[in-house]
Structures are given as C-alpha cells and as structure tokens.
Structure 1
Amino acid sequence: MGCPQVCATATLQCSFGAAPAVLNVLPVNRTLTGGMPAANIMDHIPLVNVMPFGVCMSMANPMVAAATAAALGVLTPMPCIPATVSPWLPGAPTVLLGNMPALDANSILMCNWAGVIKIAMPGQMQMLIP
C-alpha cells in the first residue's frame, strides 16, 4: 500500500511549535483527493499554505532569542511565524500535480528557525475492507 496523498485540511506539526496547524491548499492544480484540493511540494508558503504553530520555542528564531535574553536566559516562547522558504522534501516524484511532485505523508518541510515540519494527518484516510 502506498503512502497517502496529502490534501487541504492536513494536520501539520513543527518540532519547535506548541500546537498543530492545518495545511491550506489553494485549488490551483484542479486536482482533488478525498474530495479536497490535492497538495504538491510547492504548497509551502508561510501564512498562505502553512499556518502558525501557536508559539515558537526555537532559539534560532530571533524573536525567541531576544525575548529569552530579556528574561535573563529563561526560554521565552514567542508567536510562531513560519519561515518556510524551500519546498517540501521529497514529495512523490512519480506523481505530478501542476508539473511538480505531489505531496505525500512522508514528506517534511524545513523552517528557517531550525524546525522540522511533519505531516501528522494527511487530510484523507484509506480504509481497508476485510
């Protein structure tokens, strides 16, 4: 059985985020999976596709570093603003959506603030009927 295709409403989790976020997929590729717009590796735009994860706890984030320094070294989380400038990796290279690899549930996205964003729930489920 293959890896599930990712679509709109997929749940994402960042390694430095405090809460899960939802993947927003615009219907530009005109392809549906599970009745929702299907995602490709280029659906990585901050605040368009990737929503905030509550608060960020990464010291690589300048806002967190400044707040922590002001608190005399006590880690001080700050609001998350994803900094995802590169596409999802690796995607599904054998399935193209809009001339780009489709996004599958094994893909990861790197945040500039050292976070690793993974797909917790792909937005669709496969049912096995015995």
Structure 2
Amino acid sequence: MSCPQVCTGATLQCSFGAAPSVLNVLPLNRVMTSNMPAATIMDHIPLLNILPFGVCMSTANPMVIAATAAALGVLTPMPCIPATAAPWIAGGAPTVLLGSMPALDANSTLMCSWAGVIKVGMPGQVQTLIP
C-alpha cells in the first residue's frame, strides 16, 4: 500500500511539543495534491514551513534550560521555536521527485536541533469519491 503525499495543511507533532502544528508549503514546485501545494523534503524552514508546537519541554532547548534554572530545577516549558536545520528524512518513496527534490510522504521525519523528532500526524491529502 502506498503512503500518502504530504501537502499544505498537514498536521505535525513534535516529541517535545505540547500541541500539534500545521505544515505550510509554498506553491514553488507547482505540484498540487488534493488541491493543495505538495511538499518536498526541503519544506523544513522554521516559522515558514514548520510552525511552533505550543511550548517546548526539551531539556536541550536553551530557553527551557534557562527557565528551569531560574525555577530552581523545576522543568519549565517555554514557547516552541522550531530549530530544523536539516531537510526531512525521506520515509517511503525517495524516488518520487517534485521540482528535482524528493517528495515528502507521511512516513518522513524531521529532526529538531533541540532533540525533538517531528512526525506527520495527518498528511493533509484527502481523497473524495464521486459516485
């Protein structure tokens, strides 16, 4: 069974984030899926493609470290600002190219510099059947 293509509106979850987020894909590749811009592994830019996940609870995040130290060692979550420096790690079909870059599918993962792993919850692609 094939893995769904990821597009604008896909829900994302970070292992250290308190809330889900939404993927934003600019229509640069001019490829659509479910009438939405299709994503590639290069759609990983913080605050452009990857929106915040509420608050971050990672003890590798400098803001969380500082707030926890100020609270005398009590873990203090701070606002999430994703730190995704590298592209998505292709999951299913890295041979499918969109604008010379591998397409992003629902099995792909993205690493945050603050030790979080970002996964696709709902790929954003929906299929409607016409009777």
In the alignment, structure 2 segments of 5+ residues that lack a partner are none
SS at match of 2:96: strand
| Alignment match, 2:111 | 110
SS at match of 2:28: helix
| Alignment match, 1:70 | 70
Query: For the Cα contact (< 8 Å) 2:34–2:127, is it kept in 1?
Result: no
After superposition, where does 1:24-63 map in structure 2 within 5 Å?
24-63=24-63
Matches of 1:114 and 1:126 in 2, distance apart?
A: 34
- Which runs of 4 or more aligned residues in structure 1 lie more than 2 Å from their structure 2 counterparts after TM superposition? 125-128
Amino acid of the structure 2 residue aligned with 1:59 = T
Query: For the Cα contact (< 8 Å) 2:29–2:99, is it kept in 1?
Result: yes
Matches of 2:76 and 2:121 in 1, distance apart?
A: 26
Matches of 1:53 and 1:71 in 2, distance apart?
A: 22
Query: For the Cα contact (< 8 Å) 1:4–1:126, is it kept in 2?
Result: no
Matches of 1:31 and 1:64 in 2, distance apart?
A: 39
Q: Name the count of aligned residue pairs.
A: 129
- Please report the TM-score for the alignment, with normalisation by the length of structure 2: 0.95
| Alignment match, 1:98 | 99
SS at match of 1:94: coil
Amino acid of the structure 1 residue aligned with 2:62 = P
Matches of 1:113 and 1:93 in 2, distance apart?
A: 26
In the alignment, structure 1 segments of 5+ residues that lack a partner are none
Deviation of 1:127 (Å): 6.3
Matches of 2:41 and 2:31 in 1, distance apart?
A: 14
